[in-house]
Structure 1
Amino acid sequence: MDDETAEIELLDQHLNKTHQISQRMTSILSKFDTRLIKLDKSILPLHKSTQALTRIADNIERTLASIDKIVSDQDGVAVEEALILKGPQPENLQVYVEALERLIASIAFKPSDASSRDTARLIETGGKKLAQLFTKLVAEGSSGAAIPSNDYTPIPFPSSLLDTLEPLVAAMRTLPLPATHPSHPAAPGIQAALTEAQRGYANMRGAWVRKCLEVPARRVVERAETVPGPQGGAEFAAWVEGLLSSVKEEHTLLVQLAPIPSSTPQTFASLLTPIVTLFANTLGGLSTLIKRALQKHTFLALSTYGALVGCQARWDDVMRKAARKENELKDGLQTLRSTMLRSFPEFLVDIKSAAMQPGDVGTGVATITTSTITYLNQIPPVADAMASALNTLGDGNWRMGEGMSKTGQRTGMPDDESGVLENYIYDVIAALIATLNALAKSQRRPAIGSVFLLNNISSLRNQLLLNPTTTIDDLLSQRTQDAMNSAFRTAKAGYFDSNFSPLITSLADDPRDRGKSAAKEKWTRFFDTLEELGDRHRVARVMPDDVNGRESLQEEAVRLVVPAMQRFLQKSREKDLVKSVQKYIKATPEEVESQIRAFYQ
């Protein structure tokens, strides 16, 4: 019990001590809290002041960073401005373009202030500098001596300059323009500079192509007066082909190098102007030459017309690319067509007019025959063009009011161009045959006229039908061939009738002729006629350019004369008159045959 009381007292003592300690701790904490409150009140103004200083320090740092950036930008603009103002060089083009791109990007999203306007002016200057370099390079590639080539094509654009121009044009096409950057302050100025550069390109390239084609064009016109018509037309066709090839290449080059691709059609039209003017002048020169001597240059007109018809599709394609309404080729075709249509009836008139001036035509091949053969031999190369023109004129209208041939005598249908051409050739040959007959009949000595007719008809037939040097025989209808063969047979019969009939007639039997005197007279007349015939053949050579024809004629003459002489000689023997008239028989049949053959040597 005592122990428990003692423990309770001890616990009570400990409790009192704990209570005293708790009071002292509470008192200390209260004092500490009071001091903290006082400290907080003391520090609060300092904390507020420190926050303000921190904000000021941050603002100062940001301001200094901005100043540093502005200074850096100004240094960069100054460097790029110097580069832009210096202008691009082919070797540092990429550096120049990159600087210009940075300037363009620097004002893309900035407000329009003074610095932006200055940058825009610098960008505009850079665009103009690029345009100037473009013009300079194009001028270098479009100058110098224009050396004409055989294929009538200009000197191509130098590949070295093209390698420089391609990246330059690519850079120019990225510059701001009103169509793509409507609010960009430099766009209008750059548009004007590029437009002017593209206009200059058209002027320079057009003038260069004309310069290259001008000398060959003059040569074509000059040679057309001396070379055969088809050849002159072929040379003009080659020149036109060269022109069209050059224009096609220029269009390809323009598409590749145009700073403003959307303006390519208008630029191409400007480029074509001097070239089509040269074409019109060249064709005009040929037309003037043809009109001045239409019959001489008929086939030049036909060949030229055919060449232009062949080029019409390519020409129209070129004009469509240039959006041009004018068509110089079509105008030239109309002029040539009207000239050609007039030439056909005029040629027939010339053939017929030759019969009105007979005079002494001799026995050789007449000028009208030679010119007609030459005319007809020039038809094959231009047959298509001539057939087309004749079809336009109308079958038979070249006869100038003489009317059409009877139904069934013409070749082909009204719209058959080949048939119309065959009909025209027939009328030409028929007119020539009629003219030659008239000239032969107009001669005072029929024998000479017959030689003239035979020589001319033979030359016509040989050169066109038997031994042609061209394919003209393919264009001769059966009616035309029959007409020439019939005319030759008639001319040969007329030749024998005029020259050998008197010889044969002198030995003909006549019941009234009896005795030695009649025989003497016949033999005398026979050898006098033979001598006259020999003298005539020494002067008037028969078919001098046809060996086979002369041999055939010689054989016919021998078969005609020698048997007649032999028959008369045999009758004289039967009547026992040979001895009486022997001195009048100046040659044997064999000797007479030799004399006749000598006519044709």
Structure 2
Amino acid sequence: MVIAPLSLSNPHSGAIGTSSTPASANLHNETEQALAEVELLAQNQRKLGTLTNRMTSILSGFDRRLIKLESTMLPIHRSTQTLIRIQENVDNVLRSLNKTLGHYDVLQDEEPLLRQGPSVRDPQPYLDTIARVKQGLDYLARSDLQSQQKVMLKMNDLIELGSRNVTDMIRDWVTAESDMHGIDVAEYVPRGMALPRLSTATMDAIIPLFSFLKSLPTHPQTHHAPFSSALVAYSEIRGRYVEASLSPLAQQVVTYSQERLSSTAGRAGMTAAWQNDEDDTGYSRGNAGLSNWINAALDLTENEYSILEELMQSLNPPSSQTTIHSTFSRLLRAPLRSFASTLSTLQNEIRRSSSTQHTFFAFDLIGALSNASQRWENVVVANCARQQESSNPHSEQTALHALSESLVAARGSALEIFPTYIAGINAMPMQREGEIPSTTINEITYSSLNFMRQLCEYADVVAPLLTSLGAGMWMMGSDRAPVLSLGIDSETQSILSQYLADVLAALLNALEARSRAIRQQSTACIFLLNNISHIKRELIYNGRSSGVADCLGPTGIELTDGALRSAYSSYLEAWNPVIGPLMEDTPGLTSKPSGPKLAGMGGNSEKAAVKDRFAKFYDGLDDLERLHRAFPIAREDEQLKERLRTDVVRMVIPMYSRFVAKHKMGDFSKNPQKHIRFSEQEVQDRIVSLFT
């Protein structure tokens, strides 16, 4: 672009040029200077225009060249991107190969470490080694390559090897806390001490191990489950510990039943009871330690469940209730088998023995089982039932319900005792018909009272059994009706009172039958008095009712009092040979005085009769004196002896006094003192001496 030059011509330049003033000169100079500058500016502008045109041409060339460069570089760029992607893929493949090959190297790198086993003080490095193998196994499992199956199987073998070593560590920890000889449970519970638990150190050591094993897979071929195997090891150790702790108590019970109790084979009935009672010291409730044994089993079981539950809930993640129940069920297998075996042995001992000791041992067993049945259901059955019902065999089901099944069996066997005992009492007089009993307390009295006394001690056990049997059903097969059905309101009497009344009635009838084997009536009366008074003394001692009397109620007292009154009257009748000669003169004999020589006597026959009556009186008194010396009466019953002494003296002495007074001054003999051998006081002293 060309800029036209500026024209500086002025039409009035002549006028200006003619001016010669200073102002005009200055203006002219400035104008010249401005024009010079304008000219310079115009030149620069022309140069700038030239440069601009050149730059425009250069830039246009660059633009054309860039277009050509772009068209040249674009294919190259596209090829480069493809190469980059190929390179990235190659790198990824290489990394994957390196990672895969690295997992293959785990077999060689970790196997020696796994075979060495863990360190007890620091098992974490060993667990990390197993974790690396598991990580490699998981990686190969996700790749799902057929060529890796052998490697994966080898990794599963290594994991199984490592898990078994970890399980062995758990076993060592738990074994150290579980005395295989067991503990003395009696040293803890009776003294209010808590049973031993796993220590904090042991729990802190095994909880991480269990949690780690819980994360390991099951071997696909051997089906070895690490966590389950560890639980099995734990259960077996603790189960043996519980079994060993209960074994001494169980053996004590079995030994007591086999050695200290009579072991007459067969079950001939309660008729054999008194055959052994002479050597028996009697079984008292709790002697065999049945309740201690059963309660110890429940205490240990409850303690083990608490330990197991704490352990399982402390794992990461916590175990389910199903796992706890299945583990607890496995833990109790050995203890329950031993428990069931012991109960079976006790049942066999009870069934094959007929001694009264085993009878009350059976009641003790029933009581102990009954008291523990609800707790057994809560502690044992409830915590094992789900697992037991789903998988375990019938034998373990039986062991689980051993307590309830033994209770049912024991109750069934015990129901036979009640009718059998009464039948035995009724049959005893016939069995010993040829034997003449002494007048002391008979063995049947001792055994029956002991039986009744112990029945009262087991009232809580016996009453439900009698209820199951049914009131009066214990008299089936007997020719006698139950006592409380004979006009007595049985509704006011407990079931135990009804049975005891029938036992007492059978005892009294048996004593009456035994007394008939004694030919001399006076001796038989002493036999009955001694035995029935002993029964009464056992029921009422020092004016207070005994436990048996409280269980019997008024019916038992009435039965005993009635029998005692009858025996008392029979005994007084035994004095008839003594008081008979002292009775009033028989018809034809008179005591009227006929003169100073014979006062009240007739002929010789009358005199002889008086002499004979005195002689019979003294002979009868001598006979009774010998009888009482040979067969003392009521040795331990001072009240009965005092009563008999008073009644006999009151019955004999007045009649003797009248008879002596009547004939002392008579003429039945020239020497009356020869026939009147004793004064009234002497006769009384002799009678009194019979009851001292």
TM-score under structure 2 normalisation?
A: 0.72
**Distance in 2, Cα, partners of 1:526 & 1:232:** 58
SS in 1 for 2:180: coil
Amino acid in the other structure paired with 2:308: L
Of 372-381 and 263-272, deviating more is 263-272
Taking the TM superposition and a 5 Å limit, the aligned residue runs for 1:294-443 are 294-296=354-356, 297-317=358-378, 318-323=380-385, 324=388, 325-326=397-398, 327-356=401-430, 357-358=432-433, 359-401=435-477, 402=479, 404-405=481-482, 407=485, 409-413=487-491, 419-443=494-518
CA drift of 1:484 comes to: 0.4
> Are 2:313 and 1:252 aligned?
no
> Are 2:602 and 1:566 aligned?
no
Do 1:230 and 1:382's aligned partners in 2 also have CA atoms closer than 8 Å?
Answer: no
Amino acid in the other structure paired with 1:338: G
Amino acid in the other structure paired with 2:182: A
CA drift of 1:437 comes to: 1.0
Do 2:252 and 2:288's aligned partners in 1 also have CA atoms closer than 8 Å?
Answer: no
CA drift of 1:106 comes to: 8.3
Q: Give % identity.
A: 25
1:464-492 Cα distance to aligned partner (Å, 9 max, x none)? 33368951111113222101011011111
CA drift of 1:340 comes to: 1.3
Change (3 A) 1:145 1:542: same
CA drift of 1:284 comes to: 2.1
Do 1:124 and 1:190's aligned partners in 2 also have CA atoms closer than 8 Å?
Answer: no
Amino acid in the other structure paired with 2:119: Q
CA drift of 1:310 comes to: 1.7
Taking the TM superposition and a 5 Å limit, the aligned residue runs for 1:191-202 are 192-202=225-235
**Distance in 2, Cα, partners of 1:206 & 1:470:** 48
**Distance in 2, Cα, partners of 1:430 & 1:338:** 26
> Are 2:248 and 1:215 aligned?
yes
1:282 to 326, 342, 357: 342
Taking the TM superposition and a 5 Å limit, the aligned residue runs for 1:483-494 are 483-494=559-570
1:496-553 Cα distance to aligned partner (Å, 9 max, x none)? 211x221111211123445343333222222222222111111101012223322332
SS in 2 for 1:91: coil
> Are 2:323 and 1:263 aligned?
yes
**Distance in 1, Cα, partners of 2:546 & 2:200:** 50
**Distance in 2, Cα, partners of 1:213 & 1:10:** 132
Change (3 A) 1:524 1:340: same
**Distance in 2, Cα, partners of 1:530 & 1:517:** 20
**Distance in 1, Cα, partners of 2:161 & 2:336:** 36
Q: Which runs of 5+ in 2 are unaligned?
A: 1-12, 18-27, 262-280, 389-396, 591-600, 602-606
**Distance in 1, Cα, partners of 2:686 & 2:539:** 32
Of 484-493 and 120-129, deviating more is 120-129
CA drift of 1:160 comes to: 5.8
Of 86-95 and 449-458, deviating more is 86-95
Of 390-399 and 294-303, deviating more is 294-303
Partner of 1:293: 353
**Distance in 1, Cα, partners of 2:188 & 2:294:** 8
1:99-151 Cα distance to aligned partner (Å, 9 max, x none)? 76677678878954879958877666544432221122233333433354437
Do 1:542 and 1:600's aligned partners in 2 also have CA atoms closer than 8 Å?
Answer: yes
TM-score under structure 1 normalisation?
A: 0.82
1:250-277 Cα distance to aligned partner (Å, 9 max, x none)? 2222323458654332332232222222
**Distance in 1, Cα, partners of 2:670 & 2:39:** 218
1:133-192 Cα distance to aligned partner (Å, 9 max, x none)? 1122233333433354437989735526633445335533652457xxxxxxx8998961
Change (3 A) 1:18 1:448: closer
Change (3 A) 1:177 1:213: same
CA drift of 1:247 comes to: 1.5
Partner of 2:199: 159
Do 1:562 and 1:592's aligned partners in 2 also have CA atoms closer than 8 Å?
Answer: yes
Q: Which runs of 5+ in 1 are unaligned?
A: 179-185
Taking the TM superposition and a 5 Å limit, the aligned residue runs for 1:105-144 are 111-112=142-143, 125-144=161-180
**Distance in 1, Cα, partners of 2:622 & 2:569:** 21
1:393-430 Cα distance to aligned partner (Å, 9 max, x none)? 121121123474485635534xx9x6222111111111
SS in 2 for 1:294: coil
Change (3 A) 1:374 1:330: same
2:640 to 542, 549, 552: 549
2:581 to 479, 501, 506: 506
Do 2:608 and 2:668's aligned partners in 1 also have CA atoms closer than 8 Å?
Answer: no
- What's the C-alpha RMSD, in Å, of the aligned pairs? 4.4
Partner of 2:597: none
**Distance in 1, Cα, partners of 2:459 & 2:325:** 38
Of 368-377 and 204-213, deviating more is 204-213
Change (3 A) 1:521 1:15: closer
Change (3 A) 1:128 1:281: closer
Amino acid in the other structure paired with 2:428: A
Do 1:373 and 1:464's aligned partners in 2 also have CA atoms closer than 8 Å?
Answer: no
Partner of 2:275: none
2:551 to 475, 487, 492: 475
1:339-367 Cα distance to aligned partner (Å, 9 max, x none)? 21111121112111221123210111111
Do 1:177 and 1:190's aligned partners in 2 also have CA atoms closer than 8 Å?
Answer: no
Change (3 A) 1:409 1:290: farther
Partner of 1:183: none
2:520 to 445, 462, 477: 445
Amino acid in the other structure paired with 1:206: G
SS in 1 for 2:354: coil
1:365-388 Cα distance to aligned partner (Å, 9 max, x none)? 111111111111111221122111
SS in 2 for 1:379: helix
- Report which of the two structures shows the higher radius of gyration computed on alpha carbons: 2
